Structure 1
Amino acid sequence: MERNQSKELRLIHKKLRDNMSAEEHALKSADISRNVLALLESDFKGANIFLCFYPFGSEVALLPLYEHLLELGKSLYFPVSDIKEHTLTFYKISHIRNDFHKGAYDIMEPNNGLAPFDYENSKSENVICITPGLVFDKNLNRLGYGAGFYDRFLCDKPGIVKIAPCFTNQILDNIKAMPHDIRMDVVVTEDYQIG
């Protein structure tokens, strides 16, 4: 996809998301969380490791879902961004409210001293990556924020299942993916599921 076209799509869909009322955002976020949980309970019962993103701005409000997963005894990891290298390192948290501080791009990141995610020793387990993005299509392509953090992280970890929660207004029929773009396994909105 042309860089300018990608930038324009990002701006359009971020604005759509930002323009939702607080009530609409809360209701749709709750529906998305319920749909993700139903998917996990039906198709991914054995998943115990979740790589999560901390919602920022108008992203889907997933903190209640994460708290529920912690109550179920699941292991949750959140990313720390290395801005220079454009890489992510995930760290295990045990408490949604206490284990974070404001980090890169003003996004909440895990506190120092927490255990890092070890992909090599997790290959035998079902690992789910709850993946953020600005635009998705019906072929499971994803347009992120433009820095490539998640594409770099996921490119050499084929065993990780990628689930993208988003609002229906973030879905297009088709976006042209670049060779380095990582496709999702499932996209979940308040109205339906793809994949």
Structure 2
Amino acid sequence: MKNKNEIRKSIKNKREKLDKNYIELYSKELTQIFINSSLYKNAKTIMSYIPIKNEVNTIYINQEIIKDNKTLLLPAIINDKVYPKLYNDNFIKGKYDIKEPSGDIFIDEIDLIIVPGIAFDKYKNRIGFGKGYYDKFLQKYLSSIKVSLIYPFQLVEKINNEKHDIKIDFIFDNNHII
């Protein structure tokens, strides 16, 4: 079995080679599946993210959240920690040149968190970028529903998780929900 770094490198390599048209079509299809789910419909406060490096394009979901008058939160990295910030139209360039809203840090409960990642398994383990930012962040939101939106190739056989790793509750691709 491959270790986390081997899996991370392999999946990142596949994702980097994706065609932009495929990303857009797939992301729009996955958005429809997700927003029609009871998980989305029952959530009032949703944390999403701005996609980078050919991630599933969450911009469409973010637009739906706003259109549906739900509270949209986006991550900001401050002192190597992820914080949820209220969406506003004013973005700043954060750590790693990732866009983040200039709004206030949100301190209430979050119903649903869309968690980015590189690889996942059917046991709901996840591999991120390797810094542990989201695992530390999710420790504070264990009662929030954690969802990841993935391409089918991001689902691997097994990930050796460590005790600090936080599992995802639901994984969506265009064929099924785990």
**Among 9, 15, 26, which residue is 2:13 paired with?**
15
The structure 1 segments of at least 4 consecutive aligned residues displaced by more than 2 Å after TM superposition are 42-46
Q: How many angstroms does 1:149 deviate by?
A: 0.6
Q: TM-score under structure 2 normalisation?
A: 0.93
Q: How many angstroms does 1:99 deviate by?
A: 2.3
**Could you say what secondary structure the match of 1:136 adopts?**
strand
Residue 35 of structure 1 aligns with which residue? 33
Cα contact 2:35–2:41 (8 A) shared by 1: no
**Could you say what secondary structure the match of 1:50 adopts?**
strand
**Among 45, 55, 66, which residue is 1:70 paired with?**
66
- What is the distance in 1 between the residues matched to 2:95 and 2:130? 15
**Could you say what secondary structure the match of 1:45 adopts?**
helix
Q: Figure out how many residues of one structure are paired with residues of the other and give that number.
A: 178
Q: Does 1:161 align with 2:124?
A: no
**Among 49, 54, 60, which residue is 2:56 paired with?**
60
- What is the distance in 1 between the residues matched to 2:137 and 2:75? 10
**Among 115, 118, 130, which residue is 2:107 paired with?**
118
Cα contact 2:46–2:72 (8 A) shared by 1: yes
Specify which structure has the bigger relative contact order, considering alpha-carbon pairs within 8 angstroms and separated by 6 or more residues.
Answer: 1
- What is the distance in 2 between the residues matched to 1:180 and 1:147? 12
- What is the distance in 1 between the residues matched to 2:132 and 2:28? 28
**Among 67, 91, 110, which residue is 2:85 paired with?**
91
Amino acid at match of 1:15: N
**Among 70, 82, 93, which residue is 1:102 paired with?**
93
Q: How many angstroms does 1:115 deviate by?
A: 2.4
Segments of 5+ residues of structure 1 without an aligned counterpart are none
Query: How large is the RMSD of aligned CA atoms in angstroms?
Result: 1.7
Segments of 5+ residues of structure 2 without an aligned counterpart are none
- What is the distance in 1 between the residues matched to 2:33 and 2:25? 12
- What is the distance in 1 between the residues matched to 2:113 and 2:7? 24
**Could you say what secondary structure the match of 1:155 adopts?**
helix
- What is the distance in 2 between the residues matched to 1:161 and 1:153? 13
- What is the distance in 1 between the residues matched to 2:116 and 2:127? 9
Amino acid at match of 2:82: L
Q: How many angstroms does 1:45 deviate by?
A: 2.8
Q: TM-score under structure 1 normalisation?
A: 0.85
**Could you say what secondary structure the match of 2:57 adopts?**
coil
Q: How many angstroms does 1:135 deviate by?
A: 0.2
